[in-house]
Chains A and B, each alone.
Chain A
Amino acid sequence: AQSVTQLGSHVSVSEGALVLLRCNYSSSVPPYLFWYVQYPNQGLQLLLKYTTGATLVKGINGFEAEFKKSETSFHLTKPSAHMSDAAEYFCAVSDLGGNQFYFGTGTSLTVIP
C-alpha cells in the first residue's frame, strides 16, 4: 500500500530564505512522486514530478525536489522564498496501476516579508 506523510502542516519562512517542505512516502513498488501547489480557492497545479531517471527534479517557479530512496523521501526546496510562494503544497504518490494517487495532508507555506 502507498501512503504519504508531510511533516509540518504549517511552515513559515522569511522572504529570501530557504524553503524546505518535507515529504516521506511508503510504497510497495517503485514510486512515482509528485508535488502540487494550491492557491486559495483554486485547483491544484503540478509543480514537479519524479518517475524515473535523475533523482533531482526541477519544477516550475524555481522549486526542486530530490528523490532519496534510502530515506523514502521527496522533499521540496527553493533557495529563496518569494511572497508569491505562499500557498498550500501537497505531496503525492501514485499506485502501480496508475488509477489512484495518494496525497499527503498538505503543508501551508507562509512567507513573511
Chain B
Amino acid sequence: SQTIHQWPATLVQPVGSPLSLECTVEGTSNPNLYWYRQAAGRGLQLLFYSVGIGQISSEVPQNLSASRPQDRQFILSSKKLLLSDSGFYLCAWSRDRGYGYTFGSGTRLTVV
C-alpha cells in the first residue's frame, strides 16, 4: 500500500534561519506531489506542485522554494524564514484525477 511520510511534525525556527521540510512517498511511482500551507484559521493554500523529477510549479510568489531530487521525494525550503512563514505545512500526493489526494500528517512551523 502507499504511504506518505512528512517530517518533522513540529518546528520552531528563528526569523532569518533556513528551512528544510521533507516529504517522501512509498508504494507508488511517478506521483504528483504537492505542498500546501494552512495559516491559522484559514483554508489551504497551494504552494508548489510537481508532476515529475525536477519539475516544479509555483503557485504563490514567496521566499519559499521546492525541489524534487528523486521520484518520491519532495522538499520545501527557505533560505531565510519570515514571521509570516509560520503555519501548518502539508505534503500530499496524487496519481490521477479520480484518485484524490493523500496527505501527510503535517508540520507545524512557528517562526519566532
Contact = CB atoms under 8 A, between A and B. Distances in A.
A101 B105 contact: no
B62 to A, nearest CB: 18
A61 interface: no
Contacts, number: 62
Contacts of A94: 97-98, 100
A92 B94 CA distance: 14
B15 to A, nearest CB: 23
B49 A100 contact: yes
B36 to A, nearest CB: 8
B101 interface: yes
Interface residues of A, number: 25
Contacts of A74: none
Contact of B97 (A36, A97, A105): A97
A105 B43 contact: yes
Contacts of A101: 94, 100-101
Interface of A: 32, 34, 36, 41-46, 49, 51, 90, 92, 94-101, 103-106
30 contacts: A32-B97, A32-B98, A34-B100, A36-B101, A36-B103, A41-B106, A41-B108, A42-B105, A42-B106, A43-B105, A43-B106, A44-B92, A44-B103, A46-B100, A46-B101, A49-B100, A51-B97, A90-B44, A92-B100, A94-B98, A94-B100, A95-B97, A98-B32, A98-B94, A98-B96, A98-B97, A99-B51, A104-B43, A105-B42, A106-B43
